[in-house]
Structure 1
Amino acid sequence: MTRTALISGKGRLPQLLAERLQAAGENPLLAEMEGFETLSPAHEAVERFRLERLVPFLDRLQDQGVTRAVFAGAVHRPRLDPSLIDPATMQLLPRIMAAMQQGDDGTLREVITLMGEWGIDVLGAQDICPDLVAQAGVLTDAQPSSQDKKDAMRGFRVLQVMGAADVGQGCIASRGQCLAVEALPGTDVMLAHLADLRARGVELPDGGVFCKAPKPDQDRRIDLPALGPETVAGVHRAGLRGIAFDAGGVLLIDRDQMLAQANTLGVFLWAMDAP
């Protein structure tokens, strides 16, 4: 019998996936890493774990009949406490540390490999909720102009370079210039910084497009980029005209609310076939 482990990070996505799994008649095992409590306030039974005790956690998943797992929500690398590492996890430490030296993509691929060694297949959030991703096309009343389309193409070229360097999944382009790139602090910080620059009168090109896409060689079962209503609001505050994102490669959280907000603010949402 199939049982799914939902391994949660921060944000709305874990709750959306939990609801979808339960509506489909499943009894998912809910899990979250210490410091990233998202599901436990709303659910009584949530498995808590630490990376220092990864092997006991994987053993518990196996013992409870888990055969597949889905990762959902934002996490960052926690500070490890060497005193908490158990002997079995210590055996894996060289592999884990080597993967972490290869960046986020390398770390995530190693996580998927480890899951497979415990007989657990990793699914993408889009496999549980296919409606989280959009088909190609403009989703909103507002339409991208010819300049917006040029900016989007420019932004996607920047993202290809960023992705090859394992830097981030978002950038802002305007009038052929790259105004900002997304790094570890994330999308909200990047958009807020641009809004602050405009508020302080820093001379910048008008308009612009926020571009979002997975990294070129990213395993799309884990860490797909996501957009939500707060992203639309941030784009509007930053004085941008819209969002161009990879069709099929970006998760839309609270999609109906997101589209309604975009239409109210006059922000376009364009699902692109990435060049």
Structure 2
Amino acid sequence: MTETTTEARAGVGEPLAVVCGGGRFPFAVAQAATRAGRSVTLFPIRGFADPWVEEWPHEWVPLGAFGALSAAIRRAGCRDVVIVGALTRPRLLDIRLDFTTVRLLPRIARLFRGGDDHLLSGVGAIFEEAGFRLRGAHEIAPGILVPEGRLGARAFDEAMAADARLGLAALAALGPYDVGQALVVIGGHVVAVEAAEGTDLMLERVADLRRRGRLKTAPGRGVLVKAPKPGQDRRIDLPSVGPQTVERTAAAGLGGLALEAGGVIAADLQAMIEAADRAGLALAGLAPR
């Protein structure tokens, strides 16, 4: 048994704090923890979290007020903390400063001088130094991890499988530069790499390239490839997918989605599979490189 597994099991039954960005992933984590017998308190971030959080025990927190957030988590009796949900990279000016955050400001400013993984890993370290145990969403809700193998009705053909392998290799090569977690490969050619815009807007860019005639390949070829960066802290910001990802992939004229098994999370995998089957897309979880 690894040290990580031992630590994760040590938290079973203890209260859990879920710091919530947008989307349904915080809900999936809260549900899984409740089924496991844990009490859950949500700490939704104002301006990002969705209204459904108010159906659960919760306390809204402003972005960046770390002192207020840590005090609220302690009042709820929690030591284990999950940070999950959509959260766009803020400007320093958008962060509401309390006294604790002001003391941390020089350190936070340094964290902003780097990629998202650099920033989020630094935020995780701040939580741990405050005495909390940072848990990955997938540790609490392992069912959100994409499994290995074909996931829908359509299988990858040989060309798509080759594109997927190339995509995983390219993401592994780009990982040390903290660039992105997704790209598009068509016919052995990397045509788009995710940057600050995120996966959905990258796929819109591919669709626009096709409309402008910059992509000459017929629709139904090529794949969206998503995988975590090598060496990233998987407790924070694992790449995520959902039915909307499938819809954008179809709109971009691609043939399928290749997701790293155990490294990508899906809040509703069954809905994704059904969307892929309706669109005629191949969907698969690939073994990590």
TM-score, scaled to structure 1: 0.92
1:221 to 222, 235, 257: 235
Pairing 1:253–2:267 present: yes
Tell me which residue corresponds to 1:272.
286
Using the aligned pairs only, state the percent identity. Answer: 36
> How far did residue 3 of structure 1 move?
1.2
Pairing 1:48–2:60 present: yes
1:165 to 171, 177, 186: 177
Tell me which residue corresponds to 1:100.
112
Q: Call closer, same or farther: CA 1:165–1:11 in 2, change over 3 Å.
A: same
Deviations 1:82-117 (A, max 9, x none): 995333322211222222223211221222222212
- Cα distance in 2 between the residues matched to 1:233 and 1:88: 43
Tell me which residue corresponds to 1:29.
41
SS in 2 for 1:62: helix
Amino acid at match of 1:184: A
Tell me which residue corresponds to 1:86.
98
Pairing 1:8–2:16 present: no
Deviating more after overlay: 247-256 vs 117-126:
117-126
> How far did residue 177 of structure 1 move?
0.8
Deviating more after overlay: 172-181 vs 118-127:
118-127
Amino acid at match of 1:235: T
SS in 1 for 2:117: helix
Deviations 1:39-84 (A, max 9, x none): 5564264322234421232122123211101111110232344995
Is residue 17–residue 81 contact of structure 2 (8 Å, CA) maintained in 1?
A: yes
SS in 2 for 1:211: strand
SS in 2 for 1:98: helix
Q: Call closer, same or farther: CA 1:178–1:234 in 2, change over 3 Å.
A: same
Is residue 7–residue 32 contact of structure 1 (8 Å, CA) maintained in 2?
A: yes
Matches within 5 A, 1:100-249: 100-206=112-218, 207-249=221-263
Q: Call closer, same or farther: CA 1:248–1:41 in 2, change over 3 Å.
A: closer
The alignment's C-alpha RMSD in Å is: 2.1
- Cα distance in 2 between the residues matched to 1:203 and 1:105: 31
- Cα distance in 1 between the residues matched to 2:152 and 2:185: 20
- Cα distance in 1 between the residues matched to 2:95 and 2:270: 47
For structure 1, the residue ranges without an aligned partner over 5 or more in a row are none
> How far did residue 201 of structure 1 move?
3.5
Is residue 162–residue 169 contact of structure 1 (8 Å, CA) maintained in 2?
A: no
Amino acid at match of 2:254: L
SS in 2 for 1:47: coil
Tell me which residue corresponds to 1:18.
30
> How far did residue 172 of structure 1 move?
0.2
Q: Call closer, same or farther: CA 1:151–1:36 in 2, change over 3 Å.
A: same
SS in 1 for 2:55: coil
Is residue 133–residue 252 contact of structure 1 (8 Å, CA) maintained in 2?
A: yes
> How far did residue 29 of structure 1 move?
1.4
Amino acid at match of 1:17: V
- Cα distance in 2 between the residues matched to 1:160 and 1:30: 34
Is residue 62–residue 118 contact of structure 1 (8 Å, CA) maintained in 2?
A: no
- Cα distance in 2 between the residues matched to 1:189 and 1:83: 25
